[in-house]
């Protein structure tokens, strides 16, 4: 199993180096990053059938979460972001939290196949850390 940096690099290779999204500010400090979810889903479609599909999709979601968090403090209405500015530690925290959550689900509520969960277990057993 690849380590965190390798999985992050592999996932980011599907993203352009810079992204631009509109930001819609809502009441109570909430916001929407326009088209971010749709854009990330298009990227995630490239992972379908990949041997690490589950892991790559979850890393992709962790990147989306980091972009959204970055946008919260962005002062303009259009987010222009070099993805190198994202916090790898924030991405890692989200990624590993989601993976741990999946491992902790009861067998009848699993979010991944046994093979995929085995890869996640392998990640935590050595290479990921």
Position 71 confidence tier, pLDDT thresholds 50, 70, 90: very high
Contact 123, 1 (CB under 8 A): yes
Identify the weakest region by mean pLDDT among 3-7, 34-38, 74-78, 124-128: 124-128
Confidence check: pLDDT of 127 > 80: no
Contact by Cβ (8 Å): 79, 19: yes
Q: Phi/psi at 78 (nearest 5 deg)?
A: -125, 120
Q: What pLDDT score does 128 carry?
A: 60
pLDDT at 92: 97
Assessment of whether the complete model's pTM goes beyond 0.85? yes
pLDDT over 60 at 111, yes or no: yes
């Amino acid at each position: 199993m690849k380590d965190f940096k390798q999985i992050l690099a592999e996932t980011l290779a599907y993203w352009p180096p810079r992204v631009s999204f509109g930001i819609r500010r809502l009441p109570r400090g909430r916001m929407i990053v326009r088209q971010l979810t749709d854009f990330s889903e298009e990227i995630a479609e490239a992972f379908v059938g990949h041997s690490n599909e589950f892991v790559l999709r979850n890393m992709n979601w962790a990147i989306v979460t980091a972009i959204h968090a970055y946008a919260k403090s962005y002062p303009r209405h259009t987010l222009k972001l070099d993805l190198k500015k994202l916090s790898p530690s924030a991405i890692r925290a989200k990624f590993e939290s989601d993976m741990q959550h999946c491992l902790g689900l009861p067998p009848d509520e699993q979010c991944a196949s046994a093979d995929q969960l085995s890869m996640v277990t392998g990640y935590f057993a050595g290479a990921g850390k």
